[in-house]
Amino acid sequence: MSKYEEGMAHFRAGQHETALQALEEARQQRPDDAEVQCALGMAYHATGRIHLAIDAYSAAIALNGSEPYYYQFRGAAYFDQNQFQKALADFNYAVQEAPYNDAAYWGRGKIHLALNDPNWAIVQFSHALELDPHN
């Protein structure tokens, strides 16, 4: 099992600190792998290290800027830092490139609620629920 696979197994099991250790080693082994960078961002985000998560997501985007999920994840991290305009830009890109991505619409809805725009938030949440009624 590779360090990346090990890290993801720990992440899925909710063992985020252990996942971080394995994913840091994976990044050492595969510094140009966008998936490793994104996974590292997810682990940082799960442990509350939002600045490091944003850095890792940004590294993933620098390596593969065409993957909309990297923008979605970074948008969520920006949201957690109350950087709503940056978050909205990332969620907008994710929706543009992957219009079936219910999580990106959900993120946009949360931003519009935070910006005191409940009508537009309802539109976003409704679209997310159309895409995934079990969300």
pTM over 0.95, yes/no: no
Is there a single domain that holds both residue 13 and residue 48?
A: yes
**What is the CATH classification number for the domain harbouring 11?**
1.25.40.10
Which residue segment(s) compose the domain that 135 sits in? 84-135
In this structure, how many other beta carbons lie within 10 angstroms of the beta carbon of residue 61? Answer: 21
Residue 129, domain member (yes or no) = yes
Crossing angle of helices 3-12 and 16-29, in 10° steps, is: 160
- Mean pLDDT score of the chain, rounded to an integer? 96
Residue 78, domain member (yes or no) = no
Residue 135 has pLDDT above 90, yes or no: no
The 10s digit of each residue's pLDDT in 40-54 is 999 999 999 999 999
Is there a single domain that holds both residue 1 and residue 59?
A: yes
Residue 60 has pLDDT above 80, yes or no: yes
Residue 1 has pLDDT above 90, yes or no: no
Q: CA 36, CA 123: separation in Å to the nearest integer?
A: 34
Counting other chains too, the contacts that 30-37 makes at CB distance below 8 Å and 24 or more residues apart are 30/4, 32/63, 33/4, 33/63, 34/59, 34/60, 34/61, 34/63, 34/64, 34/67, 34/70, 35/4, 35/60, 36/4, 37/63
Residue at token pair 């090990």:
6
Residue 71, domain member (yes or no) = no
Q: What is the pLDDT of residue 70?
A: 98
CA dihedral 24, 28, 29, 30 (to 10 degrees): 90
| Residue 6 token pair | 């090990």
Q: Which residues contact 61 (CB under 8 A, 6 or more apart)?
A: 34, 67, 70, 71, 74
The 10s digit of each residue's pLDDT in 85-134 is 999 999 999 999 999 999 999 999 999 999 999 999 999 999 999 999 98
Residue 97, domain member (yes or no) = yes
The 10s digit of each residue's pLDDT in 9-19 is 999 999 999 99
